[in-house]
Structure 1
Amino acid sequence: MVLNPVLGKLVSKRVVLASASPRRQEILTNVGLRFEVVPSWFKETLEKSSFTAPYEYAVETAKQKALEVANRMHVKHLRTPDIVIGADTIVSVDEQILEKPVDKQDAYRMLSRLNGKEHSVFTGVAIIHCHSKDNQLEMDITDFYEETKVKFSELSEELLWEYIHSGEPMDKAGGYGIQALGGMLVEYVHGDFLNVVGFPLNHFCKKLAELYYPPSKHNVQHKKYNSIPSVDTFENLSDGESESSNFTKHKGASKLDSSGIHSSGAVYTSENSSAVRTGFTVPLENQNGVSQSAAKLPSKILELMDGFRASKALFVASKLKIFDHLKDKGPVKAVDIANDVGTSVCGTERLLDACASLGLLEKTPQG
């Protein structure tokens, strides 16, 4: 995993996340990054019309969040951080920027604009490396953004208000959370799923690798696969490549001072579902500062994305009224359900198996 060597470099550094977002904290914790949380006090009052593109607004907001925390910790807390990470996620549709709704009516306005449309989710990220010189704070800033395309299904007024009354939209950019109930609103996602959740982990890992281990030409290989864009693979990312624990400045960095489912014979029956809670802990570290469970870390990210898959299965089953067909009946075969709802037997079996695995239905051994 490309981030593992970098973690060894960061273990002795004071890394600060300038965000109170529990989703960003979970994503970064799951890859083994050690950090403290210092929410930014920056008021997000930048004039949106002054930016030529939505992503520029997200990047600048992320930068200002990180700068505020870096300066505050240096001056007021008398603790100069080594690295401050700032992030800001926005939704853009019809050239309009949507942030977090201020109330339920605002959430309804946002979701109505997204209804049945494709929109873009932008996350701007700023990585600030800080150092104090003659009691003055100097900062090297690297920033980037990630864009993901998301399409909403055509949704009824009733479904929109039901989702709004759940309370979930109120702290989410664009008024929805794709990793939870909001996943039922989404028809498709093109791009980084975690970017929509709130943090573009893949791009962030690559950027850190570029900063700490800039690859030489002979260390970069372009591997091409059918229907998949070429990717850069960084070889020999070991501590032996660099004697210095300081990061190497990326050519794009700027510098500022402180002013700146399978058997057709299976039978299914309806069952009351119960909420499943998942938790996470900070992985233990070895002497090099790298998580001992590094090999298992990707599975934790997959668990986060499973929430989206689960919500999509529930959405499709609800749209086809699967549960209504089973509510007043005994055990029913998949082929009979397929005939009732007008779907293919194979597709219906897969959907029913998915619902059974989620505990929404019960699969019996009867044929």
Structure 2
Amino acid sequence: MRQVAFHRGPLRAFRVGMPRIDHFPFDVWNRLEARRWRRPDHHFGYSDPAGFLPLRELLCVYLKASRGIHCTPQQIVITSGSQQALFLLSTILLAPGDCAWMESPGYRGASGPLRAAGAKVFPVPVDAQGLDVAHGVAHCPQAKLAYVTPSHQLPLGVSMSLPRRLALLAWAAQNKAWVVEDDYDSEYRYTGAPLASLQSLDRDGCVVYVGTLSKVMFPGLRLGYMVAPPALAESLVQAKAVMDRHTAIVPQMALADFIAEGHFGRHIRRTRDSNAERRDALVRGIASELDEQLACGPADSGLDLCAYFRGGHDEETVSRAGLAQGVELRPLGHYADPLAGPACIAPPGLLLGFAAIPPAEMAHGLQVLGRILRGR
């Protein structure tokens, strides 16, 4: 199993998947946690494995308003990050030898749990409309699960078109398959109206929605959640209980207070504006300094920007050269499934994180990248 990447050392350009931590109101968070520590109650024992009920109730309201999701608190399971959710789903929904569709290129943190569960991962290509459903149907119609990032595909940044979404749901309903919708950064959409979730279109109980607080708050918090169809929810709660009883209770309680007191909504609005400014700075910097070297992919959402080489550069060589000069350059090939066929090959390029990168560091990173690409 290929290693799931993690952040090493202090922040530097162009670290991917990283929110702007210096924008987070840690003083407020510390106060909310301290208040809970001062007033321990019965929740400090072995709590409900589904999670803190007031938090699940608040998430229902938030998800309906922001993602069009209609659910009850009993459908939500709080997890120790979305990564745990993906592992639980891989274990519960699949038997060893079952086939699962996986976007390629795609998130290695999803393919890892699928393979750990003994599934046969079938790489499905991604184009400008998202996952190529017709390719999956033609070459692996027997799959029991499809993993997708429809709002903002990782790493290419495209959004799944409505016809593709409907085709995926129709295939899942017809074949009694599950669709895992990883909605990892939908809070950060900078142009146009927010996209409806895939779950909001599901009429057959096929979609399990996975969300995370890592991108909107900070990754070290390790809080995520699943919204499961009613028929599946109790099985996931029991699996969660077997795995680790429940997620740490005080961060859940503090998050419930953080949402209820309005801090969550204010933080999202503030960071969305900040992220948009830094996205604009990166796009302008590439256009002015590296336009002959790089072509930007979709830039309407997320924390990262996909950029394709205009010349014949080798991704790994560029990445290693950047790291030697203190700049992180994530190759798109990092996200490719090693067993994927020619249909899944994406043009060479890089994924560049921008949300957490200060303007001066970003400018320095672009200078370093320019020297590398020009062979200087």
TM range (shorter): under 0.3
Work out which structure has the larger RCO, using CA pairs closer than 8 Å and 6 or more positions apart in sequence: 2
TM-score, normalising length: structure 1: 0.24
Asked which structure has the greater CA Rg, the reply is 1
Q: 1 or 2, which has the higher strand percentage?
A: 1
Q: 1 or 2, which has the higher helix percentage?
A: 2
